[in-house]
Amino acid sequence: HVHANVTNYGTQWGMGIGGGLVKGVMQNTVFDIYQHSGVPQDLLQFSTLRRNGQLPSGCLGGTCTGTLVKHIVQEALSKTYILLTAVCLVACLCICCSVVCWCRQQRGLRAVPCAVQRRQAPPAPASQPAPASQPANLVDALS
């Protein structure tokens, strides 16, 4: 059910598809447009601006970032990409858990995250006596 014709007194051609259109011409029929109306001025201006990279960006007021994020989220949750999104989220979760577990093992911790653990200076070797000019412990220093 494809239909084509010449309209507007021979100045435009048209095409349509659908069950309600009646096929009025045979296949391979050539349509002639008798009057050339030219390209509208607005379309010429748009084409020139686009070619020169001067079209407005649509970000007046800085609203493009939110729109971009919304588009990415909608695309990620679409039927096409939902499985890939789920796999990526699971992979990120596994990586984060692995880093936290590795960090805890490196620090010898069981329940405290790495960032909470404070570094302490290693104890002085027992074989070396404390220098004579400094007290050996805090009690000696206060007395």
The answer on pLDDT for 93 being more than 60 is yes
Q: Note the Cα 5 to chain centre separation in Å.
A: 45
116 in helix, strand or coil?
coil
What integer pLDDT is reported at residue 140 of this predicted model?
54
23 in helix, strand or coil?
coil
81-90 average pLDDT score: 94
Distances (CA, A) of 42 to 45, 51, 54, 60, 138: 5, 14, 15, 22, 87
The answer on pLDDT for 92 being more than 70 is yes
The tens digit of pLDDT for each residue in 9-64 reads: 777 777 777 766 666 777 787 777 666 667 778 888 999 998 998 887 766 666 67
Q: Which amino acid is at 36?
A: H
Residue 64: partners with Cβ closer than 8 Å, 6 or more residues away:
57, 58
The tens digit of pLDDT for each residue in 94-143 reads: 999 988 888 877 777 555 555 555 555 566 666 655 555 555 555 555 55
The answer on pLDDT for 91 being more than 70 is yes
What integer pLDDT is reported at residue 110 of this predicted model?
57
Which one, of 118, 95, 100, lies nearest residue 110 by Cα? Answer: 100
What integer pLDDT is reported at residue 28 of this predicted model?
80
Residue 41 contacts residue 48 (beta carbons within 8 Å): no
What integer pLDDT is reported at residue 14 of this predicted model?
78
* CA dist., res. 16 & res. 5, Å (int): 9
pLDDT band at 76 (very low <50, low <70, confident <90, very high): very high
Residue 5 contacts residue 31 (beta carbons within 8 Å): yes
